Structure 1
Amino acid sequence: MTSLPTQSAEPQVSEPQPATGPTAATAAVDALAEQRKRPPLPVALVLAARPRQWVKNVLVLAAPLSAAKLGHADVLRTSAIAFVAFCLAASCIYFVNDVMDVESDRRHPKKRFRPIAAGWVSIPQGLAAGAVCGLAGLGVAAIANWTTVLVVAVYMALHIVYSLWFKHVPVLDLAMVASGFLLRAIVGGVAANLELSQWFLLTTGFGSLFMVAGKRYSEMVVMGEEAAASRKSLKEYSQSYLRFVWQAAATVTMVTYSLWAFQLASTPDIAHKSAKPWLEVSVIPWVFIFLRYSMFIDNGKAGEPEDVVLKDRVIMGIGAVWLVVFATGVILVGARG
């Protein structure tokens, strides 16, 4: 007689299901963060200040350079003061921004390793460090003049408001970030009491918008539908719209720079007509810098503008050519005084 198969007396244990939701996401981020070597707190604070981003503050030298005054000792001194003040002010904003965005940063493939998002720096420590940097930036700016203090204070106020509210408002978020670059360029002239050309301001303003819109476009290309999880304003944008913005901004920047260069070259002083071809020719490398950088934006690789500029030898080479040509023309124009 054939016996029937008997069921096992052992209870069926189901495999544990992975947890989902914000708690699981936070736990996963914490696990990944722990895999990386946790630095000492002072090192973590320096990393959170983002010293690599300080390269953007070289813009404070733009106004003195365009006025052919950068070689003057007093202008060089005030430019250095403005540079240090903006480095400290920018770090203040980075600390505040990282505290405000700690949860969304933990869902970002790269931002989750920022010191505050990774848990290396606590939120109270980040806020305290931000306050120290902000006060130090204002103190350094006061060494130049009170107008410099005002510009630095406006920069910090705008970006704190941006971090709290306008970061999630389409179009205004682009304008607020672009204004930070414009204020960097303005403070160089303000610190040295130099007159700023309207073409210089337009070129800097729309060039800043080009960089910001390109950065947002790259974020959307890389992260796709997940981009809105780390930056809410991207939910309202489309790739085609951001493409329109950065292309329009690039066009305006190239046109205004050309007008600025030709204005500088139109000096009536016959003794210094040698400056004219240098300034006019400087338009060529300027345009090719934008064409080269636009290639990275189009491929979604301009999420970190400073990395694109510093790591691409072609952009660095064209930029060096532009700097030599433009500076030579400006120096020749300035020599007439």
Structure 2
Amino acid sequence: MSSTPLDLPPVTVRPAREHRRPARDLLVLLRPHQWVKNLLVVPLPLVHPSAWNPPSLARLAGAVLIFILASSVVYVGNDIADRDRDRRHPVKRHRPIAAGHVSVALAAGAGCALAALLVVLLAVVSPGLAWPVAGYLALNVLYSVWLKHVPVVDLFVVVLGFEARIVAGYQAVGSAPSVWLLLCVFFLCLTLILGKRRREIDDAGSAHRPALAGYSAALVDQMLTLSAGLTAVAFLLFLGGDASSAASDNLATLVLVPLSLFGLFRYLRILTLQGVDGDPVRALLRDRVIVSTALLSAGLLTVLLGVDGLGRLS
């Protein structure tokens, strides 16, 4: 029988004395490459020109820092809980705890220290963010102990974690959230997570993630098509509704819509033909075409919504 990812033995746990990179391993444990999720999602309130003033930008920066800490606490907790299962995954077996580079006790201590710092920042910097952060943490606790094993539910719990970031961003700048923009991000995140699940089905199967037993490649492909289509529809409705009152140049809209669809199609192409390495964030950041398209779209969206808010910074 040919070897498959499911045939991989658990990674050998090295004794601590053979591996002496504690500071680096602790940093890897916090997954700094994932912090960009907060930078991409939390600043969405900036599409409202009223948010472009120094106090609002300072509060928004604080919200980004708070969610970096909150997500790092979640990553540490997940890696502690999943260490045995991670050792049988072709990629996750190299995570610091699963590989034996960071002990459970040290990881738990680091997680508690981050949680304490998070509480202090919430109390001192942004007390109003306590409820979205508490909701985010509660969702992730339920996800780790139960919901990640329930097919379909596991997808929506992860997406709600992104929505909590967006709500926190709006809370920080005091702007009312755009319903269509929230839905657009919801469906876009669902598309990215489905892409990750699609790759996991091929690479590791349900041995690492039991919920995958409730999926099939064909089912995930159908879900991907539906969620990608809903992403485009929600974005079009946002441009035609919430953004239209501030539109100063219809040409920007005509260019922005094809650009957004191009970026979405580019991701689906990479997912289908090349795979996303089990990490959609890393796949997006590595693709120069997607990054360039996103930056250009963001610039055009700023023009579409008006640049008068930028003058408030001067």
TM-score of the superposed pair, with normalisation by structure 1:
0.83
What is residue 183 of structure 1 aligned with on the other side? 164
The answer to whether residue 6 in structure 2 is matched with residue 25 in structure 1 is no
The DSSP-based 3-state class of the residue aligned with 1:25 is: coil
Distance 2:308 2:156 in 1: 33
Cα distance in 2 between the residues matched to 1:275 and 1:142: 43
Q: What residue is the counterpart of 2:236 in the other structure?
A: 258
Residues of 2 paired with 1:104 and 1:335: CA distance?
A: 49
Preserved contact between residue 178 and residue 242 of structure 2 (Cα < 8 Å): no
Which residue is equivalent to 2:173?
192
Which runs of 5 or more residues in structure 2 are unaligned? 1-7
Q: Which amino acid in structure 2 is aligned with residue 231 of structure 1?
A: R
Q: 1:233-272 CA distances to partner (integer Å, 9 max, x unpaired)?
A: 11111011111112211111110111101214432xxxx7
Q: How many residues are paired up?
A: 302
* Superposition pairs of residues 52-201 of structure 1, within 5 angstroms: 52-201=33-182
The match for 1:319 among 249, 269, 294 is 294
Hey, what does 1:219 align to over in structure 2?
200
Report what 2:4 is aligned to: none
Paired AA for residue 317 in structure 1? S
Within-5 A mapping of 1:266-281: 266-267=244-245, 274-281=248-255
Normalised by the length of structure 2, the TM-score is 0.89
Alpha-carbon RMSD: 2.3
**2: CA distance between counterparts of 1:165 and 1:243?**
25
CA radius of gyration, larger in: 1
Compute the displacement of 1:153 (Å): 1.3
Q: Which amino acid aligns with 2:116?
A: L
Q: What residue is the counterpart of 1:232 in the other structure?
A: 210
Assess, with a 3 A threshold, how the Cα gap between structure 1 residues 325 and 228 changes in structure 2: closer, same or farther. Answer: same
Unmatched 5+ stretches in structure 1? 1-23
* Conservation of the 8 A alpha-carbon contact between 1:220 and 1:234: yes
Alignment correspondent of 1:286: 260
CA contact (8 A) 1:144 1:191 kept: no
1:331 corresponds, among 299, 306, 310, to 306
**Does the Cα contact within 8 Å between 2:38 and 2:67 map onto a contact in 1?**
yes
Deviation at 1:111, TM superposition (A): 0.5
- Distance in 2, matches of 1:300 and 1:235, equals 23
Q: Aligned partners of 1:123 and 1:39: how far apart in 2?
A: 16
Shift of 1:78: 0.8
Contact 2:43 2:60 in 1 (8 A): no
The answer (yes or no) to whether the contact 1:60–1:79 under 8 Å persists in 2 is no
Q: Distance in 2 between matches of 1:186 and 1:264?
A: 17
Judge which range, 152-161 or 64-73, deviates more: 64-73
Change (3 A) 1:273 1:238: closer
Partner of 1:45: 26
Q: Is the 8 A contact 2:181 2:235 kept in 1?
A: yes
